[in-house]
Amino acid sequence: MPDYERLLAATAALDTPYAIVDEEALWANAHDLIARAGGRPIRLATKSVRVRSIIKNALTLEGISGLMTYSLAESLWWADQGVDDILLAYPTVDRHALLELAAKDYRLASITLMVDSVDHLDYIDHVLGREHPAVRVAIDVDASWRIGGAHLGVRRSPVHTKRQVRRLAQAIVDRPGFTFAGLMFYDAQIAGLPDTSLAVRIVKRRSDAELRRRRKKIVTAIRAITSVGLVNGGGTGSLHVTGRDPVVTELTAGSGLFTPTLFDHYRAFTPRPAAFFALSVVRKPAREIATCFSGGYIASGQTGPTRAPRPVWPEGLSLLHSEGAGEVQTPVEGRAARSLSIGDRVVFRHAKAGEMCERFDEVAVVTSGGQVVRTPTYRGEGKNFR
């Protein structure tokens, strides 16, 4: 369990609400990710961190190489800082950013765009003109498991079969102005699904086996057309699984640095919670209820209790089911609330990793010695990559 009293003592001079990162837990998590990758390089997912100093420090670790970004404008920002291996995980229709990409050779060499249809190529041609410098592109292959009429995984790419991937790869190779750079397979149904039961674990194993067979066929088919380049796969929750596939050249992780609550029920690894936020008690409406200021930091995804922040200190607190976490006030209840007074602090954990940083201009990084280093988030640097 994190030493919440130590974190609160170190940050006592800060006004709430504020975000905390436990530096010792953060880098312990980083080394755990590297160990679970089994020698495969890890591409760091920036959306799960959104703090430039932490991302830059992570890139100095042996075993972490390159960035996976979520916005083309963000990708340009990192390329302009000298990062030369950037994979944009999602298709882009940002016209200004595409023009900025084509304006500098080093950006074109450093950034790989993501596509999953010829329509994406058409759009880039429309923005840049038919005669534009070569743009590196990778194909986002649907890694979901389709069994019977069921679809297990996220709804991302329409490209699923070997034939579909080969057809799109051939279109890229044949088209002036584009360079085929590789393939991405995000196995959300493996990486993002907690090991909550034996049935879930069986489903994840079978899904991995199906994906491994299909991924090998796809890579073999592409090699008949052109060199494959990168074959990206996995996520924090599946490094130890996807990393065993010999056709995968690199893995992706990011959430495992902070370890939000969505990772609390995995059995194959035990990361350490490293990111938190603190709120102050501003009301005591009842003996076992304390109301905190702010805190409505709901995570993206399917709406429900798993997306709400969770009070973790003092122990024994929970959100009120009738109110949840609110924009201006968040009431918590439990016997522990009896000892809380106006001005006392309550520590929460966010459901997802980097999204917490969209709420704060800085994070207070607490070192093992109890010192506090205040460092800006993307938001604090005025970077709203949406």
pLDDT digits over 193-237, tens only?
666 666 667 677 777 788 889 999 999 999 999 999 999 998 888
For residue 52, how far is the Cα from the chain centroid?
A: 14
SS3 for the chain is: CCCHHHHHHHCCCCCCCEEEEEHHHHHHHHHHHHHHCCCCCEEEEHHHCCCHHHHHHHCCCCCEEEEEECCHHHHHHHHHCCCCCEEECCCCCCHHHHHHHHHCHHHHHHEEEEECCHHHHHHHHHHHCCCCCCEEEEEEECCCEEECCEEECCCCCCCCCHHHHHHHHHHHHHCCCEEEEEEEECCHHHHCCCCCCHHHHHHHHHHHHHHHHHHHHHHHHHHCCCCCCEEEECCHHHHHHHCCCCCCCEEEECHHHHCCHHHCCCCCCCCCCCEEEEEEEEEEEECCEEEEECCCCCCCCCCCHHHCCEEEECCCCEECCCCCCCCCEEEEECHHHHHCCCCCEEEEECCCCHHHHHHCCEEEEECCCCCEEEEECCHHHCCCCC
d(CA 255, CA 209) in angstroms, rounded, equals 24
Q: Is 39 within 8 Å of 33 (Cβ atoms)?
A: no
Percent of the chain with pLDDT over 70: 95
- For 375-386, what is the mean pLDDT? 95
Q: Is 254 within 8 Å of 42 (Cβ atoms)?
A: no
For the chain, how many residues are written?
386
Can you give the pLDDT at residue 186? 84
Q: Is 170 within 8 Å of 214 (Cβ atoms)?
A: no
Q: Which residue has the tokens 């970077």?
A: 383
- The neighbouring-strand residues paired with 233 are 185, 251
d(CA 32, CA 270) in angstroms, rounded, equals 9
β-pairing, 329-333 vs 318-319, is antiparallel
d(CA 100, CA 95) in angstroms, rounded, equals 9
Domains and CATH numbers, the chain: 50-253 (3.20.20.10), 275-379 (2.40.37.20)
Structure tokens belonging to residue 282 = 């501003």
Q: What is the pTM of this model?
A: 0.93
Would you say residue 192 has pLDDT above 80? no
Can you give the pLDDT at residue 193? 61
Can you give the pLDDT at residue 133? 97
Q: 35-39, 89-93, 238-242, 285-289 — which is least confidently predicted?
A: 238-242
* Residues 1-33: tens digit of each pLDDT: 899 999 999 999 999 999 999 999 999 999 999
* Residues 104-150: tens digit of each pLDDT: 999 999 999 999 999 999 999 999 998 999 999 999 998 877 777 77
Can you give the pLDDT at residue 244? 87
Q: Is 44 within 8 Å of 78 (Cβ atoms)?
A: no
Would you say residue 155 has pLDDT above 70? yes
At residue 74, φ and ψ (nearest 5 deg) are: -65, -40
Long-range contacts of 59-65 (CB under 8 A, 24+ apart): 59/83, 61/30, 61/31, 61/34, 62/34, 63/33, 63/34, 63/37, 64/30, 64/33, 64/34, 65/41, 65/250
Q: Where does residue 285 rank: exposed (0-12), middle (13-18), buried (19+ CB within 10 A)?
A: exposed
Structure tokens belonging to residue 371 = 């010192």
Per-chain mean pLDDT for the chain: 93
Would you say the C-alpha torsion 327, 364, 2, 194 has a positive or negative sign? positive
Can you give the pLDDT at residue 191? 61
* Residues 56-106: tens digit of each pLDDT: 999 999 999 999 999 999 999 999 999 999 999 999 999 999 999 999 999
Can you give the pLDDT at residue 326? 95
Would you say residue 34 has pLDDT above 70? yes
d(CA 112, CA 52) in angstroms, rounded, equals 20
Would you say residue 386 has pLDDT above 80? no
Would you say residue 313 has pLDDT above 90? yes
